[in-house]
Amino acid sequence: DIFPKFATEGIDNGFQQPPPLRTRLICELIGTCLFVFFGAGCAVNSPDLLTVSAAHAIVTMWLVYVLGPVSGGHFNAGATIAFAVDGKMKIIEIIGYLLAQAIGALCAGGLLVWVFGTGTTLGTPGLHPGITVIQGFAIEFLCTTVLSFVIFFTTTYNSQKEAAFPIGLTVFSSFLLGAGRDGAALNPWRWLGPAVFSNTFRSTAWIYGVGPITGFLCGYGIFRLYKLIWNGRAGPYV
């Protein structure tokens, strides 16, 4: 119970009160769709590390800036599950967020087929030659641990609009580390959409589901420790 009930900001999104669930679900659907569409789309276009990393960072920044004040800007099963563990989301909201995100990712897969045709993996992340599955999992887990701590920290002490830039930059760092090794999904939906529509299912694909979700839970745990132990019990100055 360490987050305010809804990370929404009435002034920035035109609402006088928290937006209704249906509005937030539509935003999650659209946001997840656009993240997968622009991220995977650039991955189809270019193998260049900086280009692909910039693409994922940039789409994260403007999505969080624009839609973050409405739905909280999860766009990631890991984020939703971590917020759910925090205990402030109703069961209907959790299911709704996850379903909306999954549908959004599948819509992105459809758009990718429309734009890029068949015959490619549509940017489905996969282990590069010479990378072990443990190394791939390590990248997914470590990067999402860091990312989720940054998300929790910045959205707690800043508005969504201010948080959009450090969050996007953390995504940038993570892709610069991992995009040339395991494809760096950091997000189960980033794998789901392209994988389903390009029929690319590899036995190692579980790392893109388990890695981000455990990473987000780990980052949530660290932020909880920060709030409860290091920050909350802050005694007299040492």
Q: Does 237 bind its own copies (CB under 8 A)?
A: yes
- Which position has the token pair 């392209």? 194
Site for its own copies in 196-225 (CB under 8 A): none
Q: Of these, 84, 169, 210, 217, which contacts its own copies (CB under 8 A)?
A: 169
- How far is it, in rounded angstroms, from Cα 216 to Cα 212? 6
In the complex with its own copies, the residue whose CB is nearer, 57 or 195, is 57
- How far is it, in rounded angstroms, from Cα 29 to Cα 6? 18
Cα 7 to chain centroid, rounded: 16
Q: Does 66 bind its own copies (CB under 8 A)?
A: yes
- How far is it, in rounded angstroms, from Cα 127 to Cα 105? 21
Pick the stretch among 47-55, 99-107, 188-196, 204-212 that binds its own copies (CB under 8 A).
Answer: 47-55
Q: Of these, 3, 37, 97, 216, which contacts its own copies (CB under 8 A)?
A: 37
In the complex with its own copies, the residue whose CB is nearer, 132 or 201, is 132
In the complex with its own copies, the residue whose CB is nearer, 47 or 201, is 47
In the complex with its own copies, the residue whose CB is nearer, 155 or 201, is 155
Residue 97, CA distances (Å) to 27, 138, 171, 200 in order? 10, 27, 21, 25
Site for its own copies in 12-31 (CB under 8 A): 12-23, 26
Site for its own copies in 86-115 (CB under 8 A): 111, 114-115
3-class SS letters over 142-206:
HHHHHHHHHHHHHHHHCCHHHHHHHHHHHHHHHHHHHCCCCCCCCCHHHHHHHHHHHCCCCCCCC
Least separation, in Å, of the C-beta of 81 and its own copies? 20
- How far is it, in rounded angstroms, from Cα 2 to Cα 24? 21
- How far is it, in rounded angstroms, from Cα 120 to Cα 14? 41
Least separation, in Å, of the C-beta of 117 and its own copies? 7
Site for its own copies in 140-159 (CB under 8 A): 142, 146, 149-150, 153-154, 156-158
Q: Of these, 29, 54, 89, 192, which contacts its own copies (CB under 8 A)?
A: 54
